[in-house]
Amino acid sequence: MSAIDQYLDSQAARFEEELCEFLRIPSISADPGHRSDMHRAAEWVADQFRHMRLAAEVIPTAGHPLVYAESPAVSGAPTALVYGHYDVQPPDPLEKWITPPFEPSRRDGNLYARGAMDNKGQMFTHLKSVEAWITVEGRLPLNLKFIIEGEEEVGSQ
What is the pTM assigned to this prediction? 0.95
Give 3-state DSSP helix, strand, coil % of the chain, rounded to 5. 40, 20, 40
Residue 72: pLDDT over 80: yes
Q: How far is CA 129 from the centre of its chain?
A: 12
> Looking at the annotation, which residues are catalytic?
87, 152
What does the CA dihedral 123, 128, 134, 137 come to, rounded to 10 degrees? Answer: -120
Residue 96: the pLDDT is 95
Residue 59: pLDDT over 90: yes
Confidence of residue 110 (pLDDT cuts 50, 70, 90): very high
Residue 1: pLDDT over 90: no
Residue 157: the pLDDT is 76
* Across 48-73, average pLDDT: 97
What distance in Å separates the CA atoms of residue 93 and residue 157, rounded to the nearest whole number? 26
User: Over pLDDT 70: what percentage of the chain?
Assistant: 100
